[in-house]
Amino acid sequence: MSTASSVITAGFDVEKVREDFPVLKQKIHGKPLVYLDNAATSQKPKAVIDAIRKFYEVDCANIHRGVHELSQRSTAAYELTRSKVKRFLNARSTSEIIFVRGTTEGINLVTYSWGRHNIHEGDEIIIAGLEHHSNIVPWQILCDEKSAKLRVIPIDDRGELIMEEYEKLLGPRTKMVATAHVSNALGTINPVDRIIQLAHQHGALTLVDGAQAVPHIKVDVKSLDADFYTFSGHKLFGPTGIGVLYGKAKLLNSMPPWQGGGDMIMTVTFEKTTYNDLPYKFEAGTPDIAGGIGLGAAIDYVNEIGIDKIAAYEHELLVYGTEALEQIPGLHIIGTARQKAAVISFVIDGIHPHDIGTVLDRQGIAVRTGHHCAQPVMDRFHIPATTRASMAFYNTPAEIDALAEGLHQVKEVFS
């Protein structure tokens, strides 16, 4: 087993990075906080917190409305984030960047607006077998309403999609293929480029749930050729309450609005309303302005470090952590895909994940326990729940050691 110090962190000063995250400097139950629940939400760097504070202290006004100075400032700051997101995802235009509350709302927007007008009786929608509930339930609701069929790509024992089975599912009735880019429960990185390519060959559209991908790997919607791509700000070191739906402009233009209200209109009379242009057509009402501005600061922060450096460092953590946890007798890692993000989901013989979580918490270690909003994945592996350690670039090999030590204590308590 390698030691913490032997992990190569060339070009990545994790201690310096940690200084940017105020929340990490605290003790929990008398022990230094070890935050390994990044797949649930990530912590926020000071730059993000400061950007939100500045908005409320200096620039606060509603956007797209006033001629006054503050409104212009807040509008400019909010819209600047849209340009940052466009560059971050490599979209063609800011009109393709719709602000939503998060990934869940992004998917619901598509099922509601695109789905209700394009899915008909007998049509088929394909999702992957390791989806988060947010990429299952909206499609189920749509299928129920339209008497369409939901089909599922099975996963193998490693937690990888079985691509041959996927190809068999594709057919003339396939209208949409919706898949996670990275599985939240297992960490599997799905071959979305190939999934999209195959879907397009069959004339189907694609939606990618990028919630777990965007914080960890480079995403380029143009080269992926994704029709829709959605993610949440809060998993990208930004605030909660803001997220993004990317959609190809021609698709978004063809879709009806999904919520009516202010900002999404061009003209309103009691007889007829004409809708605003993209992206505003899909942004009714006052949005989460502070959240949008905070998201912009988060993207700047990630860009400054460099997403490729983040991915490389996190991969080292994954390898180190996998090796450390595999040494623990009775521990089984669930999800051993060859392409994996820094997520380690596991079970320990005879000890329930909730008990593991409680004992770890008393040692200052925050992990997620449960089904991770992915009950079908748990069913696939015949387990009720797992314990999940999900890492970010501010985690250290020493924290992995603390987790391993904590798990030894768990085993002692329940021996």
Partner 1 sequence: MVHDLYQETILDHSKRPRNFHPMDDANRHAEGYNPLCGDKLKLFLKVENDIVIDASFVGAGCAISTASASLMTESLKGKKRDEALKMLDKFHELLTTDTPITQDLGKLVVFCGVRDYPARVKCATLAWHTLKSALENVEEQVVSTE
Kindly list the residues in this chain that would bind partner 1 in the complex (CB under 8 A): 350-355, 358-359, 362, 369-371, 375, 378, 384-385, 413-414
Burial of 141 (0-12, 13-18, 19+ CB in 10 A): middle
Please give the distance of CA 27 from its chain centroid, rounded to a whole number.
27
Q: Say which DSSP state 58 is in.
A: I
- Shortest separation between residue 358's beta carbon and partner 1, angstroms: 6
Residue 98 or 410: the one with the smaller Cβ distance to partner 1 is 410
| Cβ atoms of 327 and 404 closer than 8 Å | yes
Residue 361 or 401: the one with the smaller Cβ distance to partner 1 is 361
Report the C-alpha gap between 302 and 235 in whole angstroms: 12
- Shortest separation between residue 98's beta carbon and partner 1, angstroms: 31
Q: Please enumerate, as own/partner, the contacts of 322-328 that have beta carbons within 8 Å and a separation of 24 or more.
A: 323/1, 323/2, 324/1, 324/400, 324/401, 324/403, 324/404, 325/389, 325/403, 325/404, 325/407, 327/1, 327/404, 328/404, 328/407, 328/408, 328/411
Residue 277 or 405: the one with the smaller Cβ distance to partner 1 is 405
Q: Say which DSSP state 114 is in.
A: I
- Shortest separation between residue 409's beta carbon and partner 1, angstroms: 8
* List of E strands, 105-173: 124-128, 149-153
- Shortest separation between residue 355's beta carbon and partner 1, angstroms: 5
Report the C-alpha gap between 30 and 140 in whole angstroms: 46
- Shortest separation between residue 190's beta carbon and partner 1, angstroms: 25
Residue 18 or 362: the one with the smaller Cβ distance to partner 1 is 362
Residue 292 or 353: the one with the smaller Cβ distance to partner 1 is 353
- Radius of gyration over every alpha carbon of the chain, rounded to an integer in angstroms: 22
373 is catalytic: yes
Three-state SS for 108?
helix
- Shortest separation between residue 259's beta carbon and partner 1, angstroms: 28
| Cβ atoms of 243 and 105 closer than 8 Å | yes
Report the C-alpha gap between 159 and 126 in whole angstroms: 17
- Among 390, 379, 383, 401, residue whose Cα is nearest residue 340: 390
| Cβ atoms of 81 and 296 closer than 8 Å | yes
Residue 264 or 348: the one with the smaller Cβ distance to partner 1 is 348
| Cβ atoms of 352 and 319 closer than 8 Å | no
- Among 339, 334, 346, residue whose Cα is nearest residue 403: 346
Residue 244 or 385: the one with the smaller Cβ distance to partner 1 is 385
Query: Which two tokens mark 25?
Result: 């400097």
List the 205-209 sheet strands across, edge first. Answer: 97-100, 243-247, 228-232, 205-209, 174-180, 124-128, 149-153
Residue 65 or 354: the one with the smaller Cβ distance to partner 1 is 354
Of the candidates 189, 373, 377, 410, the residue annotated as catalytic is: 373
User: What is the set of active-site residues?
Assistant: 373
